[in-house]
Structure 1
């Protein structure tokens, strides 16, 4: 009887011991899952935070860092775009200034060409020959003009002078004839004067070639 009680007691002790081991293991596992993390607070002391709280804090810090980085990149892009716009505006201003200088130079060249043409016209001497009776000698002298006056000259006389090359048309650009006054004073008819004047002009054209 005493032996049976002793065995029962041993069994109960073994059971308690086994249950105690399992309890210790379970408590140990739970302590691992909820093991506090030691951090330093702002006052410099140590504090304990659960691991999931630290992970949440780290995630929030990371997100804040990403947000700050994104804002910095946006600001940098904005500054670059402003710099590009400023450079483009400066380029357009330079091109406009160059265009103005080119136009001014072109205007100066055109003005110089016009001035030279005007000077050429002013200095160009036109060779003009004036032939006629005594009235021609009273004409004022003009540079480049030559007056040949023949006292009492009629249309027929001038025709003879041109035909005999007494009057030369070499290097003459313009010819002015003043004749017919003496024919009228000699009672020539208009019809006769017209006929002989036509012959005079024909000779002049022939000699001027």
Structure 2
């Protein structure tokens, strides 16, 4: 009996399942006719395939790019193509700006160099003017006369012009002939007259010649200071010229110096002692016509003392 019941139950279940299958088929058929798709397996498979394909496309290992990526890349290339000329234009503008600035600086530099050069030259001119002025202010002395000063030892900064045998008149002629460049000096010491005494010229004659000599000197240099050295007594003719020598020296000191505006110096003093001549200061070979070496040194020393006081 149990067997029959089990068989009956199996049959019933089988029949129920068969009915369910038939019903499902019928529903599926009706839904297809109405356009409703129930193929979930196929859609799922398709969706899975799409996701897998997108995943492969997005992978860094995939050589294939999406349309969006291709679009972005193309846009970036286009941006690069457009930005490059802009950068080049910007560089050109900056170069042009720097070039203009450089040209401006070079012009400023040239101007400043000229200003500096002018200032340096101005300073040099000022210094040179001071140097020239100092040289002009320095004592520029010359000594001119007859053979008595021929062997005079040199004096630093002093020029000596000796004319053997010269008289006062002859020296005046030499000055007029510009044998002495008087324009180069601001002091002149004159030592002349011994030959006038030897030739027997009178005091009046000698005074007149001296006035002419002073005028000739000032004609070439009106600002020159004139210093007149006294006539020296000489052993060779002292016995008959002593009086004339003394008279002319005193006349020059007391009268001519004031009238002709010169300074008289008593250079005879180193050569006399109590009215007598110091014969040892004169040359023996010519009988005392000229000074010997010691006598020339004494006269030089006397002139040197006078020059040191000149201002």
Per the TM alignment, residue 56 of structure 1 is displaced from its structure 2 partner at its CA by 1.9
From 41, 53, 73, the counterpart of 2:74: 53
Q: Which has the larger radius of gyration?
A: 2
CA contact (8 A) 1:130 1:146 kept: no
Q: Is the 8 A contact 2:235 2:289 kept in 1?
A: no
2:93 aligns to what? 72
Query: Which residue of 1 is the match for residue 47 of structure 2?
Result: 21
Match for residue 157 of structure 1?
Answer: 238
> Does 2:287 align with 1:198?
yes
1:108 to 125, 129, 144: 129
CA distance in 2: counterparts of 1:60 and 1:90, whole angstroms: 47
**How far apart are residue 96 of structure 1 and its match?**
2.4
Any idea what SS the aligned residue of 2:39 has?
Answer: helix
- State the aligned residue count: 167
CA contact 2:191–2:229 (8 Å) conserved in 1 = yes
**Counterparts of residues 115-154 of structure 1 (less than 5 Å):** 115-116=136-137, 124-126=187-189, 128=191, 130-131=193-194, 132-133=197-198, 135-137=200-202, 138-139=205-206, 140-141=209-210, 142-143=213-214, 144-145=227-228
**1:205, CA displacement in angstroms?**
5.8
**Cα distance in 2 between the residues matched to 1:204 and 1:28:** 133
Q: CA, structure 1 residues 102+158, in 2 after alignment: closer, same or farther (shift >3 Å)?
A: farther
Residue 71 of structure 1: CA displacement?
1.7
Q: CA deviation at 1:85?
A: 1.6
CA contact (8 A) 1:127 1:172 kept: no
Q: CA RMSD in A?
A: 5.1
Offset from partner CA, 1:44-99 (integer Å, 9 cap, x none): xxxxx932332222222332332233223222321232123212211221122123
